[in-house]
Chain A
Amino acid sequence: MPPRGLLLDQTLAVAQRLLVEQWRQRRGLIFWAVFPAAMMLLFGLVYAHNDSMRAGLDAAAAGILMGAALFFSCLGGTVAIIAAERERRTLRRLLASPLHPAAYFLGVVLAQLLLAVVQVVMLYSIAWLIGARYHGSLWLGGLILLLSVFAYVGMGFFLGARFARRSEEVVVALSAIGVPLLVLGGTFFPLEIMPRTMQAVAQLNPMLHMNQAFKGVAAYSLGIAELRFELAFLLVFCGLSLALGVRSYRHLLLSEQRP
């Protein structure tokens, strides 16, 4: 393990680099902004138009943030970062440098977290105009956001390291593995209407707990006590994510060793 100061500096260096790259590739950034904004606008207008659905508008905003915005930016973005490092051959250079795997992982988390905060502000601004409101504790919402970004990045590392050798494979990895998780995460259907077995499997899916926790705090003003199970699951999954991220980074080293 490198000294704590070096670990922090490496983390900040990775995050800064990713954000500068994002800023310079403005087209990609615009699409990431347009997608959740469009989703919020479309879903929001449908919910607001129907009196019977209006009550669900607050929960819909939370679901769009977790299931659409963060899914694509944090999970898809992380898979894309790994694939790009491979394609540009910078991965070999990183692996040959003293960069600690945890610093790389945390750097990606930090960059994605800052982008996620921008998405939250943007998405909730649109939601507010349509009539949706955020009801719960901002601190608790922030904590769930942090845990969710952590979990998404961990999954992104795993998918990127194992299934996305080229940038064309990012969409394949995301749609083949990420989208089923999205469905099981209760983004499209509520958990209650799923068959019992599916419900049991869904309980292992971190996306379900992200959705439920954030909906709970944002739409129903639930507190830590009511969300303790979801929060505990996400906390444990964050620890697993870090381990998964470090392990995936080492897996990348193995995959780069092939002659």
Chain B
Amino acid sequence: MTAALTIEGLQKRFAGRQVLDGFSLQVKRGEVMGLLGPNGCGKSTVLNIVCQLLQADTGQVQLMGQPMAQLGAGARARIGLCAQDCALYPDLLPQENLHFFGRLHGLPATQRQARVDELMESFGLGPHASTRVGRLSGGWQQRLHLAVALMHRPELLILDEPTAAVDVAARLELWRLIEGLRDSGTTILMTSHQLAEAERLCNRVALMQSGRVAALGTVPELLARVPGQAVAKLQSRDNAATIRRAQSHGWVVLQRAGQLSCLLPRHFSLREVVEALDGPEVSAVSVQAVTLEDAYLELVGDGGAIE
């Protein structure tokens, strides 16, 4: 089956800086692809190019097998964009915002009304139908923002850090909504700084570094590339002594932002780790399974491994 989105060899320079350097990626139909990477690695530039807000210097983007250059402005009708900032009209009611964007997409009145009713219900916006958007909480605004992006039933939904500006409760609710979209087969390309978000929502994750994909795979595939099954996080009054002791067991020791971590070859219990590191300088130990965060730091960032 044709991929929903195929990006090949994108290059983009801004003010002499190479923001994208041969970025390539394929998003399959019905999958949620996460795009992760440090600030300035080019995530938003990729999304802007896909949404036709920006032109690449070189490279090609295909939507459902058709080159974007051929689709022209018509491609915009097939993509839904939900950015981190709530781009809504604060003096309009939620359903008025939905109607407005529906009209821009050329939805006929009856079809538009049915879609507005459907989205108001499925996003739980009904009780807020008579409240101007500017008076809704950030979480409700973001929910409406997502609904607006879906108004015209896009073939590809772009989510640019969709939960970055909301509180924990709203984030969980948005995750639930995005999970629902994923389960209904919506193709989504999303960026996020929250690895837990990507771990929960994405079928596959592309880790970006310096304008290109550094690692790509499902979350278990990326986790498998970390040289360890579990991570022990330590606090020590004498890092050097603790590192020596951990390395004597053959563990990979990492130091990131002052925090010591040991990649363990299998799932050790907390007692086993404490006994192995037995020493007065260790003040706190926790053990957890390897997460996407560890994979990210290992595959994209400076892994911080101490030789």
Q: Which residues of A contact B (CB under 8 A)?
A: 2-3, 5-6, 9-10, 12-13, 17, 20-21, 24-25, 88-100, 253, 256-259
Contact = CB atoms under 8 A, between A and B. Distances in A.
Given A17-B92, A98-B76, A90 B106 contact: no
B244 interface: no
Say what secondary structure dominates the interface of chain A. helix
B226 to A, nearest CB: 31
B76 A96 contact: yes
A96 B100 contact: no
Interface in B19-67: 19, 44-45, 48, 51-54
A101 to B, nearest CB: 10
A134 to B, nearest CB: 34
Contacts of A259: 14, 19, 44-45
B105 A25 contact: no
B100 A98 contact: no
Q: Give the 6 A-B CB pairs with smallest separation, nearest first.
A: A13-B103, A93-B87, A24-B91, A89-B87, A89-B85, A6-B106
Contacts, number: 80
A17 B92 CA distance: 8
Nearest to A18: B89
B110 to A, nearest CB: 14
B81 to A, nearest CB: 5
Nearest to B148: A93
Nearest to A24: B91
Contact of B106 (A24, A93, A98): A98
B306 interface: no
Contact of B87 (A3, A6, A90, A99): A90
25 contacts: A6-B106, A9-B103, A13-B100, A17-B89, A17-B100, A20-B96, A24-B132, A25-B91, A88-B88, A88-B90, A89-B83, A89-B85, A89-B86, A90-B87, A90-B88, A93-B81, A93-B148, A96-B76, A96-B81, A97-B104, A97-B105, A98-B74, A253-B53, A257-B54, A259-B45
A91 B51 CA distance: 13
Interface of B: 14, 19, 44-45, 48, 51-54, 73-74, 76-77, 79, 81, 83, 85-92, 96, 100-101, 103-106, 132, 148
A13 B151 CA distance: 15
A40 B161 CA distance: 52
A9 B77 CA distance: 15
B87 A88 contact: yes
A115 to B, nearest CB: 16
Contact of B104 (A3, A98, A253): A98
A9 B81 contact: no
Contacts of A95: 53
Contacts of A2: 73, 106
A187 B54 CA distance: 43
Contacts of A257: 48, 53-54
B19 A92 contact: no
A71 B231 CA distance: 67
A92 B92 contact: no
A252 to B, nearest CB: 11
A88 B83 CA distance: 12
A90 B76 CA distance: 15
Contacts of B91: 20-21, 24-25
A146 B59 CA distance: 46
Contacts of A256: 53
Contacts of A98: 73-74, 76-77, 104-106
Contacts of B106: 2-3, 5-6, 9-10, 98
